[in-house]
């Protein structure tokens, strides 16, 4: 049995703003998402979408990075 990645999804307070940023970085196209979010569609054979879904939830804590 194989697994296929269909979409990478992110909850976002500003889905459209994030979609515009990442569309510019990746060179992907912006499209409406059927679940009231925004989707980025690849222009190559990447095979998956990036989806930004609206949320009002706050993050539980800051993301912490540690150096090795």
Residue 31 sits in a domain whose CATH number is 3.30.720
Task: Kindly tell me if the per-residue pLDDT of 67 is higher than 80.
Answer: no
Q: What is the pTM of this model?
A: 0.73
The dihedral sign for the CA sequence 31, 37, 42, 46? negative
Q: Range of 13's domain?
A: 7-54
pLDDT of the residue at 26: 93
- Comparing CA positions, the residue from 52, 44, 43 lying closest to residue 20 is 52
- The answer to whether residue 25 is domain-embedded is yes
Rounded-to-integer distance, Cα 28 and Cα 44, Å: 9
The count of domains in the chain is 1
Q: Would you state the pLDDT for residue 42?
A: 93
- Which among 20, 16, 22 has a CA at the least distance from the CA of 54? 16
pLDDT of 12-51, one tens digit each?
Answer: 999 999 999 999 999 999 998 777 889 999 988 888 999 9
């Amino acid at each position: 049995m194989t697994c296929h990645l269909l979409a990478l999804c992110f909850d976002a307070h500003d889905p459209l703003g994030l979609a515009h940023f990442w569309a510019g970085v990746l060179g992907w196209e912006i499209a409406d998402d059927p679940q009231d979010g925004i989707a980025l569609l690849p222009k190559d054979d990447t095979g998956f979408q990036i989806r930004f879904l609206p949320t009002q939830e706050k993050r539980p804590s800051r993301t912490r990075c540690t150096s090795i």
